[in-house]
Structure 1
Amino acid sequence: MTPHATYPATQFRIARPTHQLDAVVAFYTEGLGLPLLYRFEAHAGYRGAMIGLPGVGHHLEFTEHDDGAPCPAPSKDNLLVLYFPGRQELDVISRRLEDHGVRPVAPENPYWEKKGLTFEDPDGWRVVLFEGSFGGGGRST
Structure 2
Amino acid sequence: MTWPESLRVAQVRVARPTDRLDEVVRFYVEGLGLRELYRFENHAGYDGVMLGLPGTDYHLEFTTHIDGSPGTAPSAENLLVLYFETDTQMFDAAQRLGEFGVEPVPAENPYWAANGGLAFPDPDGWIVMLMPRPVF
Q: Identify whether the pair has TM-score above 0.5, normalized to the shorter chain.
A: yes
Equivalent in the alignment of 2:104: 104
> How many Å separate the matches in 2 of 1:3 and 1:83?
19
Equivalent in the alignment of 1:138: none
Indicate if the aligned counterparts of 2:25 and 2:49 stay in contact, CA closer than 8 A.
Answer: yes
Per-residue displacement from partner, 1:112-133 (whole Å, max 9, x unpaired)?
Answer: 1121100000000000110111
Deviation at 1:78, TM superposition (A): 0.6
Cα 1:117–1:48 change in 2 (3 A) is same
Residues 2-13 of structure 1 correspond to what in structure 2 (within 5 A)? 4-6=3-5, 7-13=7-13
Per-residue displacement from partner, 1:8-49 (whole Å, max 9, x unpaired)?
Answer: 111111100000100000000000001111111111111110
Identity of aligned residues (%): 54
Deviation at 1:72, TM superposition (A): 4.5
> How many Å separate the matches in 2 of 1:73 and 1:41?
24
> How many Å separate the matches in 1 of 2:71 and 2:102?
20
Deviation at 1:54, TM superposition (A): 3.4
Deviation at 1:70, TM superposition (A): 3.0
Deviation at 1:134, TM superposition (A): 2.9
Q: Secondary structure at the match of 2:30?
A: helix
Q: Normalization by structure 2: what TM-score?
A: 0.92
Q: How many aligned positions are there? A: 134
CA RMSD of aligned residues (A): 1.5
Equivalent in the alignment of 1:121: 122
Unaligned runs of 5+ residues in structure 2 are none
Cα 1:26–1:42 change in 2 (3 A) is same
Cα 1:3–1:90 change in 2 (3 A) is closer
Indicate if the aligned counterparts of 2:10 and 2:57 stay in contact, CA closer than 8 A.
Answer: yes
Letter aligned with residue 42 of structure 2: A
Letter aligned with residue 64 of structure 2: E
